[in-house]
Amino acid sequence: MDDRPILVTGATGYIGGRLVPKLLQEGYRVRAMGRSLDKLACRPWSRHENIELVEGDVLDNDAMVRAADGCRAAFYLVHSMIAAKAKFADADRTGARNMVRAAAEGGVSQIIYLGGLGEVTDRRMSHHLRSRHEVGEILSAGPVPATVLRAAMIIGSGSASFEMLRYLVERLPVMVTPRWVDSPVQPIAVGNVLNYLSGCLEHEAAKGQTFDIGGPDVLTYRDLIRIFAEEAGLPRRRVIGVPVLTPTLSAYWIHLVTPVPAAIAMPLTEGLGVPVICQENRIRQIIPQELTGCREAIRTALERVRQAQIDTCWMDAGAVAPPEWAACGDADWAGGTIMECGYRARIQARPEEVWEPIRCIGGGTGWYYGNGLWALRGWMDRLAGGIGLRRGRRHPTDLRPGDALDFWRVLEVDPPRTLRLLAEMKLPGEAMLEFRIEPAGDDQAVLTMLSRFLPRGLFGLAYWYGLYPFHQWIFSGMLRRIAESSNGPITDGPERFTPKLHTTCALPDRKP
Question: Which tens digits make up the pLDDT trace of 266-287?
Answer: 766 766 778 889 999 999 999 9
How much is the pLDDT for 319? 60
How much is the pLDDT for 115? 92
Percentage, residues of the chain above pLDDT 70: 89
Across residues 147-174, what is the average pLDDT? Answer: 89
How much is the pLDDT for 89? 82
| β-pair type (154-155, 188-189) | parallel
Rounded Cα distance between 429 and 198, Å, is 44
Please give the sequence-ordered ranges of beta strands (E in DSSP) within 268-365, or none if there are none. 339-347
- 3-class SS at 225? helix
More confident position, 376 or 80 = 376
Across residues 310-330, what is the average pLDDT? Answer: 65
pLDDT above 60 for 334: no
* Secondary element (H or E) of residue 411: strand 408-414
- Residue 457's region, left for phi above 0, alpha for psi from -120 to 50, else beta, is left
Sequence length of the chain is: 512
Q: pTM of the full predicted structure?
A: 0.81
Max mean pLDDT range (11-15, 39-43, 344-348): 344-348
Nearest 10 degrees: Cα torsion 32, 37, 40, 41: 120
Residues in a beta bridge with 212: 150
Rounded Cα distance between 501 and 270, Å, is 48
How much is the pLDDT for 17? 92
Rounded Cα distance between 49 and 376, Å, is 47
Q: Do domains 6-314 and 324-497 have the same CATH topology?
A: no
- 3-class SS at 382? helix
Tens-digit pLDDT profile for residues 100-152: 999 999 999 999 999 988 877 777 777 788 888 999 999 999 999 999 999 99
- Residue 308's region, left for phi above 0, alpha for psi from -120 to 50, else beta, is left
Mean pLDDT of the chain: 86
Of the listed ranges 48-52, 96-100, 326-330, the least confidently predicted one is 326-330
* pLDDT band at 75; cut points 50, 70, 90: very high
Of the listed ranges 186-195, 279-288, 350-359, 486-495, the least confidently predicted one is 486-495
Domain boundaries, the chain: 6-314, 324-497
Count other C-beta atoms under 10 Å from residue 34's C-beta: 26
Rounded Cα distance between 20 and 130, Å, is 27
Across residues 290-314, what is the average pLDDT? Answer: 87
Cis peptide before 247 (omega within 30 of 0): no
Q: Given CATH 3.30.1540.10, say whether it is the number of domain 6-314.
A: no
pLDDT above 70 for 163: yes
Please give the sequence-ordered ranges of beta strands (E in DSSP) within 157-276, or none if there are none. 174-177, 184-185, 188-189, 210-213, 219-220, 238-241
* pLDDT band at 502; cut points 50, 70, 90: very low
Eight-class DSSP state of 393: B
- Closest C-alpha among 319, 302, 351 to residue 157: 302
pLDDT above 70 for 224: yes
Across residues 50-59, what is the average pLDDT? Answer: 94
How much is the pLDDT for 18? 94
258: Cα within 13 Å, side-chain hemisphere: 25
pLDDT above 60 for 508: no
80: Cα within 13 Å, side-chain hemisphere: 23
CATH of domain 324-497: 3.30.530.20
- 3-class SS at 41? helix
C-alpha separations of 236 from 119, 254, 301, 335, 512 in Å: 33, 20, 20, 56, 58
Eight-class DSSP state of 204: G
Across residues 235-239, what is the average pLDDT? Answer: 91
More confident position, 470 or 481 = 481
Helices (H) and strands (E) in the chain, counts: 15, 20
How much is the pLDDT for 327? 59
How much is the pLDDT for 38? 83
* Secondary element (H or E) of residue 405: strand 404-405
Q: How far is CA 177 from the centre of its chain?
A: 27
394 touches 404 (CB < 8 A): yes
407 touches 378 (CB < 8 A): yes
pLDDT above 60 for 329: no
pLDDT above 70 for 81: no
Rounded Cα distance between 14 and 159, Å, is 7
How much is the pLDDT for 382? 83
Count other C-beta atoms under 10 Å from residue 48's C-beta: 16
